[in-house]
A and B are shown apart, each in its own frame.
Chain A
């Protein structure tokens, strides 16, 4: 049972455009939703995270939008740059254990 569904699997965006990655979850006990960025050969790096008591969180060019009733959240990357090309994972957590990850989105920003 996949508890966090992520889409699209891959995404190509022109430099300067907006990259949007979506995730949906099933477990209503989840109360923390981070996004991770992973470059080839590296471990995932925490990018931004949100809790369900807010609908949006912005940090620089990165924004998380959260819809609790729909059990969906998304990552928006504004003014996308070639250096943003990486694999992005959404995740969710409820309780004192590990994160449940989506399967990842391979993002390519074309110059």
Chain B
């Protein structure tokens, strides 16, 4: 079956612009997660959704970052007034309700802020 999909695969933007990153989870998966992977680093957890709600937003790096999920499916991560330090690969993962610990990742969106 189809895995987690993310779009765009690559995004180059100018400093100060806003960007939206999209994640389509595996069909039927109730939990959705966003991570950031900087060059040569591990994955940094940003936020997760159970259904449409995000119980804890403290992992978001700054108030320029926001995320939403609608209809229990697609999620959008928005970065306002992008900075060069926001350059990274943004990964999305989803989990089925019966195995919430098993996270399946998408291919990521590579964001470059110039």
A and B physically associate:
yes
Q: Is the CB of A43 within 8 A of B45?
A: no
Q: What residues of A have a CB within 8 angstroms of the CB of B44 in the complex? A: 101
Given A96-B50, A97-B48: A43 and B107 interface contact (C-beta under 8 Å): yes
| CB interface residues, A 43-100, toward B, < 8 Å | 43-46, 49, 89, 91, 93, 96-100
Q: Is the CB of A103 within 8 A of B42?
A: yes
**How many residues of B are in contact with the other chain, CB < 8 A?**
26
- Mark B45-59 against chain A: 1 for CB-CB distance below 8 A, else 0: 111101000011001
- Mark A1-33 against chain B: 1 for CB-CB distance below 8 A, else 0: 000001000000000000000000000000010
Q: Is the CB of A98 within 8 A of B35?
A: yes
Choose, from B13-21, B63-71, B76-84, B95-103, the stretch at the interface.
B95-103
Q: What residues of B have a CB within 8 angstroms of the CB of A34 in the complex? A: 101-103
Contact sample, A vs B, 21 pairs, CB 8 Å cutoff? A34-B103, A42-B108, A43-B93, A43-B105, A43-B107, A43-B108, A44-B43, A45-B105, A46-B104, A49-B101, A89-B43, A96-B50, A96-B100, A97-B45, A97-B59, A98-B33, A98-B35, A98-B48, A98-B59, A101-B43, A104-B42
